[in-house]
Every structure is written in structure tokens, then in C-alpha cells.
Structure 1
């Protein structure tokens, strides 16, 4: 029986299909690989905020670091990433917690069930946490030790890392890294302060130039809590803390998603905050009545809540400017603090950490009050008298002794801090007396 020859077009399509399949299986980086990079999770680290003063926010704040990490795991699973990189300080400190260990084990198990590998290096906080040495981690989790090592993720992607041996790492850890794998895409994990940053101790110091000279394609860093991309060739990325812990760590926090395709790396940030801190400075110079001030406050809080992408927002609101009703606002600042809390509650999902009055007094002739001005001069002089200072310091010390040690140490870490506290309190008292006198009758 005669068989019809295949048409030339069909033969061409068949050959082309085979070539595509061959290239897809052999060409380096042809398939898209996703990797999620985080650091400084600080599980169970307390959020220093108004949590103890606000019952509605207390539960959110108490579990914020855990919730943030759980959301990271959710994202990793939904995006089908190949690996999660944790570049140090997964834990917060020395405290041993069975609950934290159980929580982490469950979250890591979720990643394993989804086929996602985990690569983890210990930072300064992890090195002193006993949990890190006692948890029986599943096989899909690799913890790099202080000697350094390399692990293969895919045919063409290798992960390298070095952990802290103990809390202090005064010298560079770069000599402990093995050379990059030739012909592969190499990712290195390091917990380092680089050249240093405000609010962070110097650990494993090195420069961006030092990292670039090592020959790796991506540096997955940790330690500094503010996100920063230091370089793109090679990539040098500090993802920042995934959950801010106080007003000093304001703004949306994130992790970093790597997308590797055709041997190239692209990165994007992934929002992770459960509670977002914000610092507002509001100029109220034009507030010539209580009604106008309430309107300014409401608008500012509404705008801040709209700009925040986290489920909850905690803000410190600082009032600035030189309003005509300066003394009235200062006199009634406790009342205004309550009104601001009420406004925030009405808006929803925004809470006030602190209301700060940083106002300048008016300079008009109408503000003159000879008795009050004379009293102001007298109070300023009294504040400088050695006898008054000694008596006030004694009163403060008596009050401080009634506080828990941890809170006392936080308020007055040393003698200079105690002197600064004394100065703030006596100044605030003087201002309150003046405000009551100059704002009287209105």
C-alpha cells in the first residue's frame, strides 16, 4: 500500500518542536527560577509601642513578627519559589521558647510540603539563641555553619553561606567563602554591617567593593534593618527587617524576590508588614480655632492610613508651627490627645503611639502677659538652682526605684540620661504652668 509522504511543512514543525524541547532542557537558565530573600525576622521580638495601653491592638502587636513570617511562607508557596533564604537573625535573643520552636517547625514543614528548600545562616542574635542548636530541622532546611559551605539548588544555581560562630564577629567573614562554581549562577549569604550604619553594631565588616570582587552574582545580606540595594552588578541587597518594631523603623517593610531567567537576575520587593509605623509632622500654624485643628488632624490621619499598606498602622503625630492659639492648645494637650485617639478610632486600623507638641509661641503684642512672663523667668532660674536640681533628682530616683528594672534601665540607662529626663520633666512642668496662665479664660 502506497503511503503519502509527509508534507514539508509538517516535517519542519516537527523538527522545530524537537529543537525547542531540546533547548528548554539544556540551555542554562532557560526556565524561570524564583527565590525569596529575607533576614532579621527576630521572631517574638516585642514591638515597642502602645500595645500595653490599647487592648484592641495588643493581640496584633504581640504576634506581629510571627504573622509576618507566616505571610512570607504563604507568599513563597503561592509563587512556587525554589528556595527561601534567611540571612541571619531569625531569632531575637537569648530566650528559649518552646512555642517559638514549635511555630518555626510548623512553618518550615509547610515549605517542605510545597517542595521549597530553605537556606539559613546564623547572625549575631541567632548565635546566642539556644533554640538554633536544639531544633531538629527537616532535611529540606540547610543551615550553613561558621566554616562556610556551598549547596546546589538546581543544575545551574548554587547557594553559598557563612554563619556567625558566636555573637561577635569583629573581622570580615569573606575569607571563609569558597570560590564561586564556574559556569553557574552563584548566590552568597552574609550577615554583615558592611561599613556600618546608625543604630547597628559593627559585625563582619566589609565593603561593597569587597563583595563585588568575590565573583558571586547575588549577595543576600542581613543585619541592617533598612532595605537597600547597594549594587546591581553584582546584586548586593539588604532586604531590611520584614516587620518594623517601633517608630524608629517606620514605613512599609519587605522581603526581596529574585527572578532568575536566561542567567539574568531581576529583583522586586514583597510587602511583609503586619503593623506599619509612621511618623507625621503636621504644621498647625493656620489653626485659629479648635474646629480648624480637628479638621487638620482628621485629614492627616486619613491620608496616613490610606498610604499604609499594612493591616494596622501606628503613628507618632508631632504638631509643629506657630499657631495663634498656641497657649490654648498647650493648656489642653491632654484633651487633644484624647480627641486624636477618638479620630483615629473613627478612621479605623490606625492607632496613636504618641502626640507630641513641638509648637512655637506667638510673637504678637496680644500675647504679652507681664505676670506670666515674669513667672517664666523665675521658673527658668529656679530650674538652674543646685538645691532644686538635687531635690528634683531625689524625687525622680524615688519614683524610678518603684519601676521594674527593665523599664528603669530603658528610661535612664546612665547618669546623663537621668539628667536629661530631669530637664525634660521640669521644662514640661514650666510650660504647662505658663499655658494655664496665658490660655486662661478661652
Structure 2
């Protein structure tokens, strides 16, 4: 029986992108999470006594040169070599532009496939095939560069590809699952898409996903894939790898009729969420929903509730709040609008609907967006519709905060 560990998209030293973390220690933990996850992968490979570690592209994050990253990687590869574990590595789009990949004198246990494609023998009856990216862009299929599977052996092929395309990922080395399954390989070790997916079984086509999420946009548990090969058959097991797990969650607070009731709801919800997270550290983006009677007071005191959420999460243990969001509906009164606050609400609604106000609000938002890096701006505003929706959301939120100050005090 032979074991092989398959991972991809490690993105060593990937920068933090959108965390609202104030805890310095936690910030450092998340910043080092990609390295910690890779160390965990090496630990797992050694513990499972695997014959090989497959890295299907994007071991590095980008073009920044880092001697520390190079030294870290060499130490981990030497650890694998000392345990008799071989490493097979193909370069993905991020690796192709990283200067480290071309300057490191890698240990003898590491085999890097080049852009011409090739194959290497792992055991008498197991062969590993792979093709690397020559540069950052690979607009055409790389399948023609693969040699034919070795007859009478188990053949594993490594490919960094977007397949037919996926949201949030550029189209690289496009191909179809049908093309892959028709080429005669027993297992396709894919990379590039950060979400795990088993596209086919026998032959296996496996996208392992990223081993460590980098921000709240990559929420959920992350993993690698352990192959077990016996009698010419490949079996697959998903192995958890997250050091820090990000999670989106909701909490309906309709029944919170007092501050103490809301606090207790928060405590119970956070405790339950911690139980769902297998990673050592959890980071939660929690949205309060529902139609509570104390809607205006909760909005008025939102800064206080943000602080209490941080406090309660810390008390649960290795759990932190990324953001506490308020998506609350006002209570239904069944009466016509009356009083100064309701009159103000009607006036603000009228103003928000005026073209002149919309134009000014749009200009303000555009001014702020222009100061952001292009990549972050693109993530926030995909198109004009998304920009207009943001303006509407911000202006409504501003109006709600004004009303909360008035109605919260009245109540």
C-alpha cells in the first residue's frame, strides 16, 4: 500500500486582504497561517508515512522576492527528504512570476516539472506526470503536453487549471472534465480553484482547494487529499488542514426583548459556532437579523454591541469577530407615521430618491474608491450595478443610524 498527499494553492506568505482584526496576536497568527498550514501538511505527510507530496501549483503567492520564504521552504522540503518523502511540484500562474522558483537549488527529493511536460517514476508501478506554467498566463490547454500513461501502472497527472472557469478565478489552461477522464490517467491532481471539488471518481479528478483560507472570502474548513493506492486502485480521503477557519453566520434576534437577552443569545450562538470549527482558531463574521422590538436601541448602541461581541468571542476560546453586521428590520407599529422621528424618516427617504442627492452620493463613493488599490476596488465593485447598490446601501444605513439616535432615545 502506497500513500500520497495532494495539495495545491498554498500561497506562502499571501498578504491579508480584508480583515478587521484588532487583536495583534491574532493578526500575526492569520498572517502566518499559510506557512503554518504548510508545516501541518509536512507533519501530516511524515505521520502518514506517505511516499510523495504533490503540489499542484501556486506554492508561492506572487512576484515578491523573500529570502525568508525561501529559507522556510527549504527547511520544510529537507524535513520531507529526511523522512524519505519525495515532492512533485508543478508551477502555477503565481509561481511562474515568483523569482524564488527559479533561483532556489531545491533538495534532491524534489522534482519540478517544466513547461514542456514530463513524467517521473515513484515506484515500480506508480508514475507521476506534470506540466508547469511557463509564465503567468496560460490561455490554451496544456493537455497536449502530457505524455501517454504508462501501461500496466498507476498514472497520476498534475495540472494547474481553471477547467471550464470558476467565479473569482481567471481562466487558465482551460479544459473539460470529460477531456481529463478520457486521457487514461487514474488520478488528476488539480490546482488553481480554491474550493475543494471531486469532479470525477475512477478516474479521479480532484481539486483539493486551498489548504488555508486567507480571509473571510475564503470561509469554511480547508483540506488536502490523501491518496491510498493498493492493488492498482486509488482511494481518496479528505484531510482537514486549516490553522485558522473563517465563517459567515447569522443570528435572528427577533426575540431579544432586552439587552441581557441579546447578550445571552450572542453567547449561545458563538459557543455553538466554536463547536462547529475544527481549526485551532476561528474568525466569525456575524450578521444580526430579525425584527426585534428594541431595533432602534440595538442600532443606536451598535458600537457597544460590537465590543461585547468581541468580549464574548474571546471568552469562548480561540474565537474572534471579524465583523458584527446589523441587518435588522424595524418593528411593525401598524400606525401611520407620526412624530418628529417619523417625519424625518419620510424626509430622508424623499431626499435619497432625488437624482441630485444620488449623484452627489455617487461622487463621494467614487472619490473614496479611487484611493483604493485597483485589485481591492475590483473586489468591492464588480460593475456599475454593484456600485449603485453600495451607494443605496450606505445612504440607507446612514439614515437608519440617524433615526436610531432619535427613536432609541424616545423608546
TM-score normalized by structure 1? 0.87
Aligned residues: 410
Shift of 1:371: 2.6
Give the Cα separation in 1 of the matches to 2:230 and 2:269.
44
The range that moved more, 372-381 or 295-304, is: 372-381
Any conservation in 1 of the 2:369–2:377 contact (CA below 8 Å)? no
Alignment map for 1:430-441 (pairs within 5 Å): 430-441=399-410
Name the structure 1 match of 2:178. 209
Please, which of 345, 350, 365 is the counterpart of residue 319 of structure 2?
A: 350
Alignment map for 1:300-379 (pairs within 5 Å): 300-365=269-334, 369-379=338-348
Give the Cα separation in 1 of the matches to 2:72 and 2:221.
24
Any conservation in 1 of the 2:337–2:343 contact (CA below 8 Å)? no
Any conservation in 2 of the 1:36–1:257 contact (CA below 8 Å)? yes
Please, which of 107, 117, 120 is the counterpart of residue 151 of structure 1?
A: 120
Superposition CA RMSD, Å = 2.2
Give the Cα separation in 1 of the matches to 2:23 and 2:346.
39
> Is the aligned partner of 1:189 residue 2:158?
yes
> Is the aligned partner of 1:254 residue 2:254?
no
Q: What do the CA deviations read for 1:107-140 (whole angstroms, capped 9, x no partner)?
A: 1111111111000001111111111111111111
Relative distance call for 1:301 and 1:52 in structure 2 (3 A) is closer
Q: What do the CA deviations read for 1:85-108 (whole angstroms, capped 9, x no partner)?
A: 000000111111111111111111
Q: What do the CA deviations read for 1:161-205 (whole angstroms, capped 9, x no partner)?
A: 011111111111111100000000000001111111111111111
Shift of 1:52: 5.2
Shift of 1:345: 1.3
Name the structure 2 match of 1:4. none
> Is the aligned partner of 1:48 residue 2:11?
no
Alignment map for 1:26-175 (pairs within 5 Å): 32-50=1-19, 53-175=22-144
Any conservation in 1 of the 2:96–2:136 contact (CA below 8 Å)? yes
Give the Cα separation in 2 of the matches to 1:121 and 1:194.
16
Structure 1 portions without partners, runs of 5+: 1-31
Relative distance call for 1:193 and 1:291 in structure 2 (3 A) is same
Q: Which has the greater radius of gyration?
A: 1
Any conservation in 1 of the 2:8–2:59 contact (CA below 8 Å)? yes
Relative distance call for 1:257 and 1:134 in structure 2 (3 A) is same
Give the Cα separation in 2 of the matches to 1:367 and 1:331.
23
Shift of 1:288: 1.6
Name the structure 2 match of 1:19. none
Relative distance call for 1:196 and 1:398 in structure 2 (3 A) is closer
Any conservation in 2 of the 1:227–1:238 contact (CA below 8 Å)? yes
Give the Cα separation in 2 of the matches to 1:331 and 1:90.
46
Q: Counterpart of 1:306 in 2: which secondary structure?
A: helix
Give the Cα separation in 1 of the matches to 2:333 and 2:349.
22
Give the Cα separation in 1 of the matches to 2:10 and 2:383.
33
Name the structure 2 match of 1:199. 168
Shift of 1:386: 4.5
Structure 2 portions without partners, runs of 5+: none
> Is the aligned partner of 1:221 residue 2:190?
yes
Any conservation in 2 of the 1:369–1:438 contact (CA below 8 Å)? no
Give the Cα separation in 2 of the matches to 1:133 and 1:275.
30
